[in-house]
Structure 1
Amino acid sequence: MSDMLGTGLSALLAYQTALNTTSHNISNANTEGYSRQRVSLSSVQGTGTGAGYVGAGVQIAQIARISDASTVNLLQGYTSSQSRADTYASYASRLDSLMSDSSLNLATPLSGFFSAANALANNPTSSSVRQAFLAAGDTLASRFNEIQGQLDSLNDEVNNGLSTTVGELNQYTDQLAKLNNQITVAQAQFGGQAPNDLLDQRDQLVKEISSRIGVRTEAQADGSVNVFTTTGQALVLAGDATALGLADDAYHSGNLDITYGGQSITSQISGGAIGGLLDTRRELIQPAQNEIGRLATALAVSVNQQNAAGVDLDGNAGGNLFTVPAVGVLTNTNNTGSATLSASVSSVSALGTSNYVLSYDGSAWSASDARSGASVSLSGSGTLADPLVLGGVSITVGGSAQAGDRFLVQPTTHAAGEIGMATSNARSIAAAAAGSAANSSSNSNAQALAALGAQTLLNGGKDSLSAAQSAMVARIGSQSQQAGIQLDAQTALQSQAQSAWESKSGVNLDEEAADLIRYQQAYQAAARVVQIASDVFQTLLSATKG
C-alpha cells in the first residue's frame, strides 16, 4: 500500500507543480517580456520484482522557459533600428514644418527685399522708398535670425535628449549588471537550473538598452549576458557596468559628445534613440544651419559689395547695409601650440555648406570635411600675403602651431543669427552710379542691387539666392519624406519580430486553459489514487483486527 500511496503522492506533487506553472503563465499573460514556461514530466525508476519492474510514480524533470535566442536577438535588433528611425523621423518632420511654415518662410521676405530694391531703382531719391528698402532688409534679416533661433533650439533639444537618454541607458546597464549577479547565484544554487523569471527580466533590460543604442550581446553559460556597443565598447560584462558619459566636444561648439572611459565615441555610435539624435544633428540640423547661413552670408556680402560700388545721397561711396556674419574658427582643446586663426569670406560663389577641420602636421596644413572626414582642397600658406583658402573662405594664421593642432572652421553655421542691418540712415543707400554728385537721381547702382535677386551668386555661378533657398526647402522636405518611409518600414519589421517572439514565447490563454483542465483532471485522478490507497490500507487494518 505504501508503494501505491507514494505513487499517488508523486502524481499529486507533480500535477500541483504543473498547475502552479500554468497559473503563473496565465497571471503573466500581459507582462511585457514574459516567456511562457512548460513543465516536463518523467517517470520514476520502478522497483524490480520477479514478475518485472513496478512503476514508482512521476517526477518533475524540468520547468522549461520557452525562448529562442535568435528570435530574441532579432527583436532586440529591430527595436534598436525602429527607435533610431522614430527619433530621426520626428525631428525631420519638425524641421520640414519649420522651413515650410508661412510665419517663418524665407522666400517671402527675400522676394520682398528685392522688390523694394526695384522700387528704389524706380524712385532713387524718395525718402519713403529708401526707408521702405531698409525696412525690407530689416524684415529679411529678422527672418534669418528667427530661423537660426529655431534651429539652435532644435540643437539644444538634441543635447537635452542625449543627456536624458544616456542617463536612462546607464540606469539600465547598471540594473542588468546587478541582475547578472543574481542570475549567476540562482543558477548555481539549484544545480544549473535556469531562473526563468530572472532571464525574462534580463532580456527585457537588454531590449530597453537596445532601444537607446545599437548593441550586440553575448550570452554566457552561467545565464548572464554581456552587452557591447556595435563597435565593441563593453557596456556590461557579467556583474560590471561601464557608464557612458557626456562632454562638450573638443571644439566647444555647443554640441555634446558621447564618451567612454573619457574618450569620445560619438562617431562610432549607431542605432537606438541615441543614434537617432546624433544622426539628427549630423544630417538634419547642422546642414540646415549651414545652408540658411550661407544664404545670409551671400546676401550680406553681395549687397554690401554692390552698395560700395555706388554713391549715396551725400555723394559718399556706399558703406555696408548689412552686418557681415563672422566665419567661425574654433580651437581644439587638445592643441599644444599658440596659433590663432582668423577667417573671412573671400568668394560667395565658392562658399559651400560644409564645416572643415584644419590640421597641422608640423610642416604643412591640411583640410578635411568635418562630417565625412574626406580630404578637402586647400591652398596657401596662412600668411597675410598668402592666406589659406578653402570653400570660399580665406584664413590667416597667427602665432605658432604645433604638430597635431586642429581647428574647426564653420563658414556659415551661425551666420543666419548674426546678420542684421548695419545702418538705419536711408541716405546711406548708394543708389547712384560711382562718380555721381550728391542728391543725384542716378539709379544705376540701385538697378544693380535689384538685379542681385536674379543673379546666380552661389554654387559656382549656378544658383540664385531664391533658387538655393527653394532647393534647401525641397531637400529638407525630401529628407522628411524618406525618414517617414524608413520609419514605416522599421516599425513593420519590429512588429513582425515582436509577433514572431510572441508566437514562440508568448502566453496563449486558450492553450493554458486547456492545460489547466488537463492537469486538474490528472490531479483529481492522483488524489483518487491516494484516497483508494488509504481506503485499502484501512480495510487491511480492519481485517487484521478482526
Structure 2
Amino acid sequence: MGSTFGGYSIALTGMRVNQAALTVTSHNIANVDTAGYSRQAIALTETVNDPAGSNSAGTGATVAEVKRARSQLLDNTYRQQNTTVEYWSSKSGTLDYLQEILDEFAISDASDEDASADGLQQTIQNFFDSWDNLASDPSSVSTRQSVVENAASLLDTLSQIDEQLQSLQADALTAAGDIVDEINGIAGQISALNLLIAKAEANSGEAGDLRDQRDDLLDQLSAYTNFSSQEAGSGMVAVFIGGVALVSGTKANSLSISGDGSTANPLQVTWTNTQTTAKIAGGSLLACLEEADQSGFSAISDTDNYNFTATATSSISTLRQGLNDLITTIAGKINSLHSAGTDLEGNTGLDFFVVVDAGQPLSISNIQVNPEIAANSNKLAAGSTDAAGDNTVANAISSLLDEKIFQYNGLSQDLTGFYQSIIAWVGTAGSNATNAYDVYSTLATQADNQRLSISSASLDEEMSNMIKYQTAYSAASRVLSTIDNLIGDLIEELG
C-alpha cells in the first residue's frame, strides 16, 4: 500500500504529464495551418516503484515519447506519383505552347471568319496561288513581284516559328540547369538536417519539426527527379538517384550539367565527383532534358526519299524537323523546275531558293529567295522557253501543292495532307500529355489527401484534447491539494 507522502509524487506526475500533453496540443493548434506540418501526439506510460521486487505499487505516469503522425508508405506513394505528375505537366505545357506557335490546328477556308490571315497554312496557300496567277499572265511585272513577295512572306513566317521553337528549346536548356542547381541545394539542406536530427534524437525523442522540414524537402525533390530514400537507425536519411547516393548521412553529393543539346555536344547530367552519367528517369528535369535535345533536328540531304516520323525525344525538335522537311522539300522541287526553265531575258533559270550561309546546308533556318530574283523579277522562269505566254514552269510549280511529294510514317502525302499530319500530331501529343497529367495528378492528390488525413492537425480534435488534458491536470492538482489538507489535519491533531 502506498504511503500518504507517496501520493504527493503520483499527483505531481499527473500534473507534469498533462502539462506536457497541453504543450503538445498547443503546438498542434499553432501549426494547424502550417504547410507540411505533421500532427504530434504524446504517449504516456505508467511508472512503478520496483517492478522486480515485492512492492510494485504504481508511482504515477511519465512521458514515453512525442511522435509525429506520419505514414512513410503514403509519403513514398505521393512522391512517386508527384514525379510523374511534374514530368507530364512540363511536357503538356510545352506542347500547348507549340500549338499556340502554330496558330492553327486544322485547315481553315480563307473565307472562314476564324481563319488566320497570317497563319502558316494560309501563307503556303498564298504562295502557290501566286504561281497559279503567274501561269495566267507570265509576263506581268506585278504578278512576278507577287510571287517573290509571297515567297519571302512564307520564309518569314517559317523563320519566326523556328526562332520561337529554338527559343523554347533554349528555355528548356536553361530550366534544366536551374533544376540541377535546385536539386544540389535541396541535397545540402537534407544533409544539414540529418545532422541536426541525429543530434536532437540522440538523447531525447523524435525531432518532429526537423523531420517535417526534411520531408518537405523530399516532397520538393520529387517534383524534379526520381529518387528513393532509406532511413538509418540514427534518424538520418539516405537519398538515391538511379542507385547513386545524392545524400548519405551528413554528406551531400552534387550533380553537374553540360552540353547544349546538339548532336555534337549532347546535354548530360553527371555526378560531379565521378563524372558518371546520372540516371534521370522522371520529374520536370527529365522533361526539360528531353525538350532541350536537338538531335531530332537535322538538315535533309535527300528530300525525295526522306520519311518524316514524329519519334524524336523532343517534341520541339520533332516540330522543327517537320517544318524543315516541309520547306526544304518545297524548295528542292521548285529549284529543280525553276532552274530548268528560262527567264524573260532568255537566260537559264536560277535556283529560286538559296542558302544564306554557304557553309551550311539548306534548312528552315538557312534559306532565302535568290537575291538576284528578289532584285529583278524578270529572272523568274515562268516557262521552259522565253516565248511569250509560256507558263509551263509556273504551272508545274503551282501543281506541286497537290502532288504527293512528302512521306509521313511511310505514307505518301501532298503538302496539305502533310501539314495536317504535323498539326494533328501536335494536337494528339498535347492531348495525350494533358490526359496523362490529369490521371497522375488525380492519383497524387488522392495519395496526398490520404497522408494528410493522418498527419494534418484538426482544430476540433485538438480543442477536445485540450479540454481533456486541462481537466486531468486540474484533477491531479486537486489530488495534491487534498493530500496536503489531510497531512495538515494530521499534524494539527498530533499537536
TM-score range, shorter-chain basis?
Answer: 0.7 to 0.9
Cα separation, 2, equivalents of 1:256 and 1:103: 39
- Return the match for 1:35 from 35, 38, 41: 38
Q: Residues 297 and 324 of structure 1 are in contact (CA less than 8 Å); yes or no, is this contact kept in structure 2?
A: no
CA deviation string 1:253-283 (max 9, x = no partner): 68743232374747x3122221222244433
Deviation, structure 1 residue 42: 1.3
Q: CA RMSD in A?
A: 2.4
1:372 alignment counterpart = none
Determine helix, strand or coil for the equivalent of 1:310.
Answer: coil
- Return the match for 1:166 from 156, 180, 188: 180
Cα separation, 1, equivalents of 2:77 and 2:326: 45
Cα separation, 2, equivalents of 1:296 and 1:164: 35
Deviation, structure 1 residue 507: 1.3
Residue 293 of structure 2 is aligned to residue 290 of structure 1: no
Query: Which segment is superposed worse, 257-266 or 215-224?
Result: 257-266
2:330 alignment counterpart = 299
Structure 1 residues 232 and 325: alpha-carbon distance in aligned structure 2, compared to 1, 3 A threshold: farther
Residue 397 of structure 2 is aligned to residue 449 of structure 1: yes
Q: Residues 142 and 420 of structure 1 are in contact (CA less than 8 Å); yes or no, is this contact kept in structure 2?
A: no
Determine helix, strand or coil for the equivalent of 1:489.
Answer: helix
- Return the match for 2:237 from 225, 229, 232: 225
Deviation, structure 1 residue 539: 2.1
Amino acid at match of 1:213: T
- Return the match for 1:202 from 191, 199, 214: 214
Residue 278 of structure 2 is aligned to residue 275 of structure 1: no
Structure having the higher strand fraction is 1
Residue 492 of structure 2 is aligned to residue 542 of structure 1: yes
List alignment gaps of at least 5 residues for structure 1.
Answer: 328-341, 346-414
Q: Residues 138 and 389 of structure 2 are in contact (CA less than 8 Å); yes or no, is this contact kept in structure 1?
A: yes
- Return the match for 2:369 from 410, 414, 421: 421
Structure 1 residues 27 and 461: alpha-carbon distance in aligned structure 2, compared to 1, 3 A threshold: closer
Determine helix, strand or coil for the equivalent of 2:48.
Answer: coil
Q: Residues 301 and 324 of structure 1 are in contact (CA less than 8 Å); yes or no, is this contact kept in structure 2?
A: no
Q: Residues 214 and 271 of structure 1 are in contact (CA less than 8 Å); yes or no, is this contact kept in structure 2?
A: yes
- Return the match for 1:99 from 102, 106, 114: 102
Deviation beyond 4 Å, 4+ runs, structure 1: 50-53, 249-256, 324-327, 342-345
Trace 1:128-527 onto structure 2 (pairs within 5 A): 128-190=142-204, 193-229=205-241, 231-249=242-260, 256-261=267-272, 263=275, 265=277, 268-281=279-292, 282-324=313-355, 415-423=363-371, 424=374, 425-433=376-384, 436=385, 438=386, 440-459=388-407, 462-527=412-477
Deviation, structure 1 residue 51: 10
Deviation, structure 1 residue 54: 3.1
Q: Residues 159 and 255 of structure 1 are in contact (CA less than 8 Å); yes or no, is this contact kept in structure 2?
A: no
The total of aligned residue pairs comes to 455
Q: Residues 297 and 325 of structure 1 are in contact (CA less than 8 Å); yes or no, is this contact kept in structure 2?
A: no
Cα separation, 2, equivalents of 1:480 and 1:46: 71
Structure 1 residues 461 and 30: alpha-carbon distance in aligned structure 2, compared to 1, 3 A threshold: closer
Identity %, equivalent residues: 27
Cα separation, 2, equivalents of 1:494 and 1:238: 28
Deviation, structure 1 residue 466: 2.2
Deviation, structure 1 residue 233: 2.8
Deviation, structure 1 residue 40: 1.3
Q: Residues 267 and 289 of structure 2 are in contact (CA less than 8 Å); yes or no, is this contact kept in structure 1?
A: no
Structure having the higher helix fraction is 2
Q: Residues 110 and 466 of structure 1 are in contact (CA less than 8 Å); yes or no, is this contact kept in structure 2?
A: no
Deviation, structure 1 residue 251: 5.0
Cα separation, 2, equivalents of 1:488 and 1:325: 45
Structure 1 residues 317 and 464: alpha-carbon distance in aligned structure 2, compared to 1, 3 A threshold: same
Residue 25 of structure 2 is aligned to residue 10 of structure 1: no
List alignment gaps of at least 5 residues for structure 2.
Answer: 105-115, 293-312
Q: Residues 183 and 223 of structure 1 are in contact (CA less than 8 Å); yes or no, is this contact kept in structure 2?
A: yes
CA deviation string 1:217-264 (max 9, x = no partner): 1121111111112x2232111111112112224857687432323747
Deviation, structure 1 residue 537: 2.3
Amino acid at match of 1:418: N
CA deviation string 1:334-381 (max 9, x = no partner): xxxxxxxx9968xxxxxxxxxxxxxxxxxxxxxxxxxxxxxxxxxxxx
Amino acid at match of 2:102: M
Q: Residues 173 and 289 of structure 2 are in contact (CA less than 8 Å); yes or no, is this contact kept in structure 1?
A: no
TM-score for the superposition, normalised by structure 2: 0.86
Cα separation, 2, equivalents of 1:312 and 1:38: 91
Q: Residues 123 and 129 of structure 1 are in contact (CA less than 8 Å); yes or no, is this contact kept in structure 2?
A: yes
Cα separation, 2, equivalents of 1:20 and 1:225: 28
Cα separation, 2, equivalents of 1:112 and 1:13: 87
Determine helix, strand or coil for the equivalent of 1:56.
Answer: strand
Amino acid at match of 1:448: A
2:127 alignment counterpart = 113
